[in-house]
Amino acid sequence: MIEVSRATVDALPGIAEIERASITPPWSQSALADEFLRSFIAVASDGGGVLGFCVLRRVSVDEAELFRIAVCPAARRRGVGDMLMQAALKFACKNALTTVYLEVRESNAAAISLYEKHGFAKTGLRKNYYDDPAEGAVIMTRRTFVTILAIETSCDETAVAVTKNGREVLAEEIFSQADKHALYGGVVPEIASRNHAAVIGRLTESALQKAGVAKNELDAVAVTYAPGLIGALLVGVNFAKGLALALGIPLVPVHHIRGHIAANYIADRDLEPPFLCLIASGGNTLIADVRGYTDISIIGKTRDDAAGECFDKAARVLGLGYPGGAALDKLAQSGDETLFNLPRPVIDGAPYDMSFSGLKTAVVNIVHNAEQRGGEFCKASLAASLTAAVSDILVPRVMAAAAEFCHDKIAIAGGVAANSRIRAEFVRAAEAEGKTLIIPPLELCGDNAAMIGAQGFYEYLAGTRAGMDLNAYATMDADLTYEAAAGNGRIV
């Protein structure tokens, strides 16, 4: 039986022999050995030696060149070329290499038809490219376009986006319910669910229409399934299920925090893992080592409140309404941040963990004490001092984590990344330490569906799928893949 597997160096002599028999001029064995460092190399064998091999080299974030696909003369017409091609394309797909191209001799009709069968199309001609005999090279390209409808309903934003290949937003609709909750000083779960249910259908139709995409052109539906408010999540999850079922397309579950990280792939189209990412929002604050698109490790997190919760609570007692992060940011700009001495807690033995509840309480106490005494205090300076404290908790931890985990690239995400003081501090620190900093534009910092489409694309390529039993979860670790969560009983 013929099997295709990723090549090890043991296969080198066999690969070199096929190379010599089928390519002029051939690569030397040492050149082929070097190629192992750069490329995906697969070999076909039937137990008795190498029958064929392929070499796929990544040339940019989403492009690869198929340098070789060669079969030993004795093994031709046994489907070995097809098997090698399938292995190369599977690897490309898993690694988000959505464009694969190759060059082939003009006269090699058999190879050209094999490539056409696998979805390649002629996209160019290089005249007199080959010697011996002199001949042109046909350039053939295969592009994968994955159009995803993405849905986000984890809190009080109903958002629907249509995205292409994780990096391009064709259309997005967001309905913010913030004013409906402002009256209560926080999100009321049942009101959130009802509002999601009321608008999600209309937003979906509108997003599809704006994108110019028909329902039957969608490749998958991606939806936030955790963490968040259960009732709110369930609206999106069930709507996504219905759509996926009706259209007969995959349902891709997306973790909300992974979505926030992925907002950076839209903000910076060349960004690829590994990088370090701070996610600071109303419900979560954590530092993630993003090792791969779907391989994330949490290296620090808040032990209690999120940074955004701290801002929201402070804004509320300062009379700035809900959610007050942005208003507090504005007010802080005219304040003196040295006026109030606020805590910057450190957690013993956990250098990247954080705590914001003491800070939140300190601010609330200052306001209440002043109110009880009937005394005046400078609200702007309290806002500025709080912002400085949050910045002092976040920025040095992120920079230290980047140094320890050897990351040159740092991304920040989540609603708190919109804070002007914190953004400026990150810019300064990154410049001082020679790091590349990626901060998404404001509209990508808050909850949105484009980020779910971006992560959904990489989850889709990695084969993450949910069945019709997909549920919603209030809490879920961001480093758990959906499969692992299902395997260890977190998903039932």
Site for ligand KG4, rule CB under 6 A? 155, 281-283, 308, 311-312, 323-326, 329, 414-416, 418-419, 446-447
Tokens of 286: 């954590």
For ligand KG4, the closer CB: 70 or 306:
306
Tokens of 109: 């009709």
For ligand KG4, the closer CB: 164 or 313:
313
How many other C-beta atoms are found inside a 10 Å radius of the C-beta of residue 124? 12
For ligand KG4, the closer CB: 284 or 464:
284
Tell me the closest approach of the beta carbon of residue 208 to ligand KG4, in angstroms. Answer: 24
How many other C-beta atoms are found inside a 10 Å radius of the C-beta of residue 415? 25
CA 403 to CA 56: how far, in whole Å? Answer: 33
Tell me the closest approach of the beta carbon of residue 57 to ligand KG4, in angstroms. Answer: 38
Q: Is 304 helix (H, G, I), strand (E, B) or coil?
A: coil
Q: List, as own/partner pairs, every contact residues 125-131 make where C-beta atoms lie below 8 angstroms and the sequence separation is at least 24, other chains included.
A: 129/103, 130/105
Among 174, 256, 200, smallest CA distance to 473 is for 256
Beta-ladder partners of 280: 285
Tell me the closest approach of the beta carbon of residue 172 to ligand KG4, in angstroms. Answer: 14
For ligand KG4, the closer CB: 282 or 335:
282
Tell me the closest approach of the beta carbon of residue 332 to ligand KG4, in angstroms. Answer: 8
For ligand KG4, the closer CB: 250 or 456:
456
Tell me the closest approach of the beta carbon of residue 444 to ligand KG4, in angstroms. Answer: 10
Tell me the closest approach of the beta carbon of residue 233 to ligand KG4, in angstroms. Answer: 12
Angle between helices 12-22 and 29-38 (to 10 degrees): 110
Tell me the closest approach of the beta carbon of residue 344 to ligand KG4, in angstroms. Answer: 17
For ligand KG4, the closer CB: 152 or 479:
152
How many other C-beta atoms are found inside a 10 Å radius of the C-beta of residue 212? 10
Tell me the closest approach of the beta carbon of residue 256 to ligand KG4, in angstroms. Answer: 7
Among 139, 96, 105, smallest CA distance to 121 is for 139
Sheet architecture: strand order including 50-58:
3-6, 39-45, 50-58, 63-71, 99-105, 135-143, 121-130
For ligand KG4, the closer CB: 18 or 232:
232
Tell me the closest approach of the beta carbon of residue 143 to ligand KG4, in angstroms. Answer: 33
For ligand KG4, the closer CB: 7 or 416:
416
Provide the residue count of the chain: 492
Q: What sign does the dihedral 149-152-158-164 (CA atoms) show?
A: negative
CA distances from 44 to 3, 72, 88, 269, 441 (A): 5, 10, 12, 35, 47
For ligand KG4, the closer CB: 164 or 423:
423
